[in-house]
A = this chain, B = another copy of it.
Amino acid sequence: MTATSRPDPAEDSAAVFAALGATTRLRLVARLCAGGPQSIASLTGGTRLTRQAIAKHLRVLADAGVVRGARRGRESRWEVEPSRLGLARRYLARISGQWSERLEALRRHVEEAR
Interface residues of A (CB under 8 A from B): 8, 10-11, 13-15, 17-23, 25-27, 29-30, 32-34, 36, 80, 82-83, 85-86, 88-89, 92-93, 95-96, 98-104, 106
Contacts and interface: CB of A to CB of B under 8 A. Distances in A.
A21 B21 contact: yes
B96 A92 contact: no
Given A14-B23, A20-B17, A21-B21, A88 B92 contact: yes
Chain A interface main SS type: helix
A32 B23 CA distance: 26
Contact of A23 (B11, B26, B93): B11
Given A10-B23, A85-B96, 10 more contacts: A18-B18, A18-B21, A20-B21, A21-B21, A29-B95, A30-B95, A32-B99, A33-B99, A89-B92, A89-B96
